[in-house]
Amino acid sequence: MNVTTTENAGGGAALIQENGITMAEMTWVRKEGNVIAIEHTRVSDSLRGHGAGLQLFRSIMAMAEQQKLSVVPVCPFAVKMFERYPEYGNLLHKPANR
């Protein structure tokens, strides 16, 4: 599976496509400062259980690390990935105390 990313000023997506059809996607939006929020993950039935979601997550984590972004997991899948893979904890957004 090959993951590609698309990005614009408001956010972006990590995608797995086959023959021009999006089979899996994880989308994010940009927040204030250097923060992105992962809002949605979708994996087709044919790719479930094959690590597609994890590949999408790792792709976004690599982008976040490269661009020095912090990440807010909004969708339940992203929350679960941060719990399962604590090595990405340094990218987890920690809001300032108010």
Encode pLDDT of 60-98 as tens digits. 999 999 999 999 999 999 999 999 999 999 999 987 755
Give me the domains of the chain, ranges plus CATH numbers.
3-91 (3.40.630.30)
Distance set, CA 9 to CA 29, 59, 71, 73, 74 (Å): 9, 18, 16, 19, 19
Of 58, 26, 31, 56, the residue nearest 42 (C-alpha): 26
Contact present, 30 and 11 (Cβ < 8 Å): yes
Give φ, ψ of 22 to 5 degrees.
-75, 115
Residues 6+ apart with CB under 8 A from 96: none
Q: Give pLDDT tens digits for 21-65.
A: 999 999 999 998 899 999 999 999 999 999 999 999 999 999 999
Maximum separation of any 2 CA atoms in the chain, in Å: 49
